[in-house]
Amino acid sequence: MQIRIINRSTNPLPAYETSGSAGMDVRAFLQEEVTLKPFERQLIPTGLFIELPQGFEAQLRPRSGLAFKHGISLPNSPATIDSDYRGEIKVALINLSNQDFVVKNGDRIAQMIIARHETAEWTITEEIAATTRGDGGFGSTGKN
């Protein structure tokens, strides 16, 4: 699949790090370092602008190493970039640790996954099909 992209940063394009990777690493594009204090959120620019085909979205997700080692995550994970969005891709980062975390230009801060999606159309009805689970939710299929 070909996706049109503008890269206004000094960083490489998002890339798959291995042949089996589902996500491409996305890098911070910063003029100066950003320090995330514990439990602070910041919007980090990437310098990237994309043109996705209709019926596709880009999902931004946390990088597992940053999440595990440093408590860095995305508060809206997965973040969705719609096919009609043409602005700069920015990543909302949150520091869930008890220590400051410094983000520098070029740091890999998230992973991007390109995914196909369907457009739903609602059909109003008075009843829906029954299942064994029924209306059980919030742990109803978990431990007894």
Give, in order, the Cα–Cα distances in Å from 106 to each of 5, 9, 57, 66.
18, 9, 24, 14
- Residue 141 has a pLDDT of 72
Provide the pLDDT for residue 143.
63
At residue 13, the 3 state secondary structure works out as coil
* Residue 137: predicted pLDDT: 80
Q: How many CB atoms neighbour CB 84 within 10 A?
A: 8
User: What is the domain partition of the chain in residue ranges?
Assistant: 4-116
| The pLDDT value given to residue 133 | 85
Q: How many CB atoms lie within 10 A of CB 28?
A: 23
Q: Which pLDDT score, from 0 to 100, does residue 138 have?
A: 79
What is the pLDDT, as a whole number, of residue 37?
98
Average pLDDT, 10 consecutive residues per value, the chain (144 residues): 97 95 97 98 98 98 96 96 98 98 98 96 95 82 66
Query: How far is Cα 55 from Cα 77, in angstroms, rounded to an integer?
Result: 20
* pLDDT for 85: 98
CATH number of 4-116: 2.70.40.10
Q: Is the pTM of this model over 0.85?
A: yes
pLDDT of residue 135: 84
